[in-house]
Amino acid sequence: MKLLVVNGPNLNLLGVREPGIYGDQSYAALVKLIEDTCAAEGVEVDVFQSNHEGALVDRIQQAMGDADGIVINPAAYTHTSVAILDALKAVRIPAVEVHISDVSKREDFRQISYARLACVKTIMGQGLDGYRQAILFLKSYIENMDK
């Protein structure tokens, strides 16, 4: 099994950006958490981050025929990007949406998620551990799909 983890804009600045909201762990620490979780589960993983909407769309498209599942934190594009929603729908790969913060308790403009409409689950407000939870959920979701 192979997963793709996609992170959107400003997540490369984890640890520096608004630590009161996103914590003090770096993006490198997040990548290590993802890679360690996948290694422990016997799952292959590619981790991708971009600040550019089109690059995120391109990477989702490239997952076709390659990845069995996608974990995605579209970051600010969550709330604006129909293009990312359409890409997730187009590739028809099961996807889980992750947000480090609890967006449901934040500003009104964060209450819309386009990506969510193409995701089988959303995990929010769990800090970086949300990615670990998403990987575990997606692995078992994919295994059960095959039955």
Nearer to ligand DQA, 110 or 116 (CB): 110
User: Exactly one of 75, 128, 134, 135 binds ligand DQA (CB under 6 A); which one?
Assistant: 75
d(CA 100, CA 124): 6
- If we measure between CA atoms, which residue out of 60, 52, 73, 59 comes closest to residue 128? 73
Q: Tell me: does residue 110 bind ligand DQA (CB under 6 A).
A: yes
Q: Is 22 a catalytic residue?
A: yes
* Minimum CB–partner distance for residue 114 and ligand DQA (Å): 12
Q: Which residue in the set 59, 99, 132, 139 belongs to the binding site for ligand DQA (CB under 6 A)?
A: 99
HSE (side-chain half, CA atoms, 13 Å) at 30: 26
DSSP-derived pairing of the beta strands 2-7 and 44-49: parallel
Taking CB under 6 A as the binding criterion, the range among 41-49, 72-80, 82-90, 136-144 that sits at the site for ligand DQA is: 72-80
Order of all β-strands in the sheet with 95-99: 44-49, 2-7, 69-73, 95-99, 121-124
Among 12, 49, 78, 81, binds ligand DQA (CB under 6 A): 78
Which residues have a catalytic role annotated? 22, 99
